[in-house]
Amino acid sequence: MLEFLPLEVRQGLEAARRRDLRARSRLRVHVDDAVYPVLRSWPGGFALEAEHAPHLRGLVDLYDGTRHLMQCLIVASSVEGGEVICDFKRATPITDRAALDYLRDANAPVAYLPKA
């Protein structure tokens, strides 16, 4: 249906779609000091706008607003339809406490009470 529309109208519709995706998404990719908005994401990667984002490769940080979500190791990026498609090999979630080096028992007491 869109192929019957004039070229200017199709380009305007595509620009409006990208603007809408950028406005809805709070996800951002931080690379060194640069910040790029994420248009869409899926379990194995995400898409950035091609005209503003470079071909990324290596370790990047993914944020949701100001909250640091994960570190991603990007292994491949390609340009398709005006988007840079980034596939990552590893995505490490960021936690607010250190990892335990032992298995915590589910029935362990939370605290010990001193003798009275």
> What's the DSSP call for residue 103?
P
The Cα 100–Cα 1 span in angstroms is: 57
pLDDT by residue, tens only, the chain of 116 residues: 566 778 888 878 777 776 666 556 688 899 888 898 888 888 889 998 888 788 888 899 999 888 899 999 998 888 888 888 999 899 888 888 777 788 888 888 878 778 76
Token representation of residue 39:
């248009």
Residue 60's pLDDT is: 92
Question: What's the whole-model pTM score?
Answer: 0.65
Q: Answer yes or no: are the C-beta atoms of 62 and 71 closer than 8 Å.
A: yes
